[in-house]
Amino acid sequence: MIIQKTSSPRLPNFDPNNFSFGNTFTDHMVICEYENGKWGEVKVVPYGPLSFTPAMMTLNYGQACFEGMKAYKDKDDNVFLFRVDKNFSRINKSAQRLAMPQLTEEIFVEGLKAFVDVDRGWVPHGEGMSLYLRPLIFATEEALKARISEKYMFAIVASPAKSYYSEPVAVKISDYYSRAASGGVGFSKAAGNYGASFYPTQLAKEEGYDQIIWTDDATHTKFEESGTMNVFVRINDTIYTPATSDKILDGVTRDSFIQLAKRRGIEVVIGDILVDDVLKAHADGSLKEVWGVGTAVVTNTFKAIGYKGQRFELPLLSEEESYALTLKRDLLNIQTNLAEDPFGWRWPVERKY
Ligand SMILES: *Cc1c(COP(=O)(O)O)cnc(C)c1O
């Protein structure tokens, strides 16, 4: 591990009460380069641009995948990561599917911890605040050859993130476009999955929806995911979520919600969610909630669902009545060290550098 700290930190000018998420970056970044069949040393270096030409293979053939994670700070300034093992194994699954090399624990886990330690001053304090972390792997060989790249870069950049609060959204159930196909790359965090989802989402926005509930590509009769989040449906007091598969991303938030729900004694059914059953439940009043989960906002509650030109309004539950918001609170309390962590999900970031 090489740690090269910046001589001109921007941290003293960072105002945690006034910044823009997603385009404010911390003082450092992680980089590690792969060539001649092996990864080099992992480095924490000053944040800044890299230099590539348009012949870089990622830009032409799309070998790129990423992760999304967060670091949290408690009231005593301790910094924690969350379930890092899950993101580590997932980035390697994504990389494998895209024929990219596997990362070692030394590179991913130790690189991440050293980076967050060095930039710990950027982890904002307070309710709902965190430091968003974006590990990624991309092909860097300069060659217009449609084959597996021989050079890659692993990098991590970080951006402070504000409140988790997100307005309830209206979502359109897709009856035409698909996010993923059998045998495809839906389970991986391939960058191209996002690129391919923007156009259908833009069309849904023109119809007055914020997001899409993706359905199975073969019949469009089963829920798969919601936007770039896993989806949950509550009918009466039972919650349903689709099983993970090659089309459904194995979300860390999804898995955490399932465990937190079971701990509260809520019945969780993992399996097919039929569009028809959801609409029937809406008609007879047993459909209580539909929501998406993911690291970025933890929970997105839905106020309406659209299907084939019809729009169905959903009840707006209070924080006490809502399973989505109760489980979100349970999760945030563990992430920010306000509650016991019986699952061993928190990863303290020691002061070392
Ligand atoms: C990242 C992602 C999720 C959420 O995963 P988390 O680990 O909970 O952040 C869900 N679906 C898709 C398609 C994703 O890319």
Name the amino acid, one letter, at 69.
Answer: M
CA distance 322 to 318: 6
Are 170 and 304 a contacting pair, CB within 8 Å?
Answer: yes
- Domain spanning 169-336: which superfamily? D-amino Acid Aminotransferase, subunit A, domain 2 (3.20.10.10)
pTM of the predicted model as reported, rounded to 2 decimal places: 0.97
CB of 74 within 8 A of CB of 107?
A: no
CA distances from 128 to 250, 285, 335 (A): 24, 33, 10
pLDDT at residue 15 in the model: 92
In angstroms, what is the span from residue 188 Cα to ligand 1's centroid? 9
Q: How far is Cα 187 from Cα 183, in angstroms, rounded to an integer?
A: 10
Ligand 1: centre distance to CA 281 (Å): 26
- Distance between Cα 98 and ligand 1 center (Å): 17
- CATH fit for domain 2-164, picks 3.40.50.300, 3.30.470.10, 3.20.20.70, 3.60.15.10: 3.30.470.10
Sign of CA dihedral 8, 13, 17, 20: negative
> In this predicted structure, what is the pLDDT of residue 164?
63
Are 110 and 102 within 8 A, CB to CB? no
Q: Which residue is closest in CA terms to ligand 1's atom 14?
A: 228
In the reported structure, the alpha carbon of residue 152 is separated from the centroid of ligand 1 by a whole-number distance in angstroms of 23
In whole angstroms, give the CA distance from residue 6 to residue 353: 13
- 123: how many CB neighbours lie within 10 A of its CB? 24
pLDDT of residue 326: 97
pLDDT on residue 20: 85
For ligand 1, residues with CB inside 6 Å are 68, 189, 225, 228-230, 249, 251-254, 294-295
Domain range list for the chain: 2-164, 169-336
Low-confidence ranges of the chain (pLDDT < 50): none
Q: 178, 230, 255: which to mutate for ligand 1, most atoms within 8 A of CB? A: 230
User: Of the candidates 311, 284, 297, 137, which has an alpha carbon nearest to the alpha carbon of residue 229?
Assistant: 297
